[in-house]
Amino acid sequence: MPSQEVGLPIPNIPHAVSVTLPTWEANIAYEEGEHWVTSKMSSGYPRFYIHSSIRQLCRKLEAKYGREGEECLVFPSYKVAKRCREFLKSHFEGKIRILQLSTPEPVSDSDKSIQVGATFGVVFFPKSLFPLAKSYWQHSGEVVSSRMGEYILKSLFTGPKSKTKQELQAQKIQSRSPSIRASRSSASGCFNDDLETEFDTFIEQKFGRVLDLKFANEAKRALRRRICGKVDKSCNQIEEIEKSKRGKYLSESDVYLFPSGMASIFYAHHALFNILPAGKSVCFGFPYVDTLNILKKFGPGVIFLGLGDDSSLLQLEKDLEEGLKIMALFCECPSNPLLKTPNLKKIKELGEKYDFAIVVDETVGNFINIHVLPYADMVASSLTKVFSGDSNVLAGSLVLNPLSRYYAKLKKFFNTNYEDLFWDEDALWLERNSRDFVERVHKVDNTSEKVVNLLLSNPKISKVYYPSVSPSRHHYDMIKTQDGGYGGLISFVFHKPSDAIKFFNSVDLYKGPSLGTNFSLACPYSILAHYQELDEIEQWGVDRNLIRISIGLEEPEDLLQVLEKSLEQ
């Protein structure tokens, strides 16, 4: 049964990416920093809550390398640490130091199974700047994962880890794997059906839950190919005349992995800022909070079109006709939490006419349900969500459209500047988690439609937000794949706020941040994501008492029964 204990990880494992906030009151208390909640927090979403292993690592680094009055924060590379320093210096004129450190490289082949050389950056700053440094961590998503922090801590401060008998046996099993051997010799390019089947099973887990770091690069290649194989289906929908313009197809080399979904959006903005004339970007539609923060706090600023509807697009077109210059347009498809779908076809037409780039975050729709690549220059996704499902790894991806008019410039920039910051052990976990991604998506889609019908029929509920019942459905249907559904995210509002509180407090589901988990997950979204701006968000149609549910893999009848029981409260 879902735990209702405040602060417990969801799931209850060391590297969980969600945390239990089981009541309306607990969510408010968390936002207000009340001790009865914050003192019990043993976990949290990794961009907002710094994992205990990372905090412990920072304390060790401060003791060894710090100066009086300093704190530090670790980042996955020296370049990222420099970006953090630049951000801090834009707000502070004092001294900020960076230290680059590395863990020992493996010496022998057997060491490669449990050891990897990791080079990372440490930013030292006055203690008063910690909230600002943490805001860079949160907004950029360029974070050290809890597994990476744990590894560095053990490697630098508790000595090398010895292989257990179990790990040695697992290594022998994996080295014999025919799919591992095949992966080393297969040609590059997108999956065909045979390759996809091969890679979907290639890191065999025949011996417990041991992961062999020696195969991390192959796991990453499998992930890029898996993403490429799914996204490329959208590329294949492009008219033949468009294909012939470039004569290129999406390949695994156009898929880039990141330590979080937000890092992929941040890096998309960073890349465009470096290859295009500097200018404001448009945030089209009410987005997840840190997408807007990135556009606000990094670069020349943002034009926020929060309604994200056809009228907003007409006004943008008018402003562009009158001389408005923008660098890029960022949007979600569909948006979180209102599940609106932008008119991507029209946005693409405007982008071509007025020369701005288009970045689409398809996390909520996911690339099994929708194909947005033909309408975007870059497609970002949080792999933490339904692609992983298990709520135990943070990851993101960014796909370059090879038919984009900016492709050559983007490719040159990525070839020169992109760093693989995705921690090896996280890659191994994600590869395994995502093998049944397609089947899970279809099950979630089917269950979600049943839940939507239940909510629509309940007289206590005033509004249901879901792509299939949205006024923007025709825009969603334009990009929906042949076998795709409408996703697993549903938001709704009660007529009476008191009914929302009663429902949330009584519903027997996991309750915390995140979405796309294999278990259904609920939260009072506005309270959790926008508590300090509840009046402001209402102008964009976001009700302060909105509840969001991410549908999981429970049997539909069981989930419907749980929801019906709470709706009767």
Q: In this predicted structure, what is the pLDDT of residue 109?
A: 86
326-382: pLDDT as tens digits? 999 999 999 999 999 999 999 999 999 999 999 999 999 999 999 999 999 999 999
pLDDT at 87 exceeding the cut of 60? yes
Q: In this predicted structure, what is the pLDDT of residue 276?
A: 96
Q: How confident is the model at residue 250 (pLDDT cuts 50, 70, 90)?
A: confident
What are the structure tokens assigned to 368, written together? 């099994």
What are the structure tokens assigned to 525, written together? 């979204």
Q: What integer best gives the mean pLDDT of the chain? A: 89
Per DSSP, 480 falls in state B
pLDDT at 241 exceeding the cut of 80? no
Per DSSP, 127 falls in state G
Q: In this predicted structure, what is the pLDDT of residue 178?
A: 30
pLDDT at 205 exceeding the cut of 80? no
Distance between CA atoms of 301 and 378, rounded to whole angstroms?
Answer: 20
Residue 256 is which amino acid? Answer: Y
- How remote is the C-alpha of 70 from its chain's centroid? 31
Facing residues of 99 across strands?
Answer: 122
pLDDT at 413 exceeding the cut of 50? yes
pLDDT at 477 exceeding the cut of 60? yes
pLDDT at 506 exceeding the cut of 80? yes
Residue 377 is which amino acid? Answer: D
pLDDT at 278 exceeding the cut of 80? yes
Residue 409 exposed, middle or buried by CB count within 10 Å (0-12, 13-18, 19+): middle
Kindly list the structural domains of the chain, giving each domain's residue range(s) and its CATH number in brackets, ordered by start: 52-157 (3.30.70), 240-434 (3.40.640.10), 437-567 (3.90.1150.10)
Please list, in sequence order, all residues whose beta carbon lies within 8 angstroms of the beta carbon of residue 492, skipping any fewer than 6 positions away: 455, 461, 463, 464, 465, 546, 547, 549
Q: In this predicted structure, what is the pLDDT of residue 425?
A: 96
pLDDT at 449 exceeding the cut of 80? yes
Q: Are 121 and 97 in contact (CB under 8 A)?
A: no
53-81: pLDDT as tens digits? 999 999 999 999 999 999 999 999 999 99
pLDDT at 28 exceeding the cut of 80? yes
- How remote is the C-alpha of 197 from its chain's centroid? 25
Q: In this predicted structure, what is the pLDDT of residue 230?
A: 63
Longest dimension (CA), the chain: 71
148-189: pLDDT as tens digits? 999 999 999 986 544 444 444 444 433 333 332 333 333 333
Q: How confident is the model at residue 236 (pLDDT cuts 50, 70, 90)?
A: very low
pLDDT at 538 exceeding the cut of 90? yes
pLDDT at 5 exceeding the cut of 90? yes
Facing residues of 121 across strands?
Answer: 75, 100
Q: In this predicted structure, what is the pLDDT of residue 237?
A: 42
Q: In this predicted structure, what is the pLDDT of residue 534?
A: 96
Q: Are 368 and 437 in contact (CB under 8 A)?
A: yes
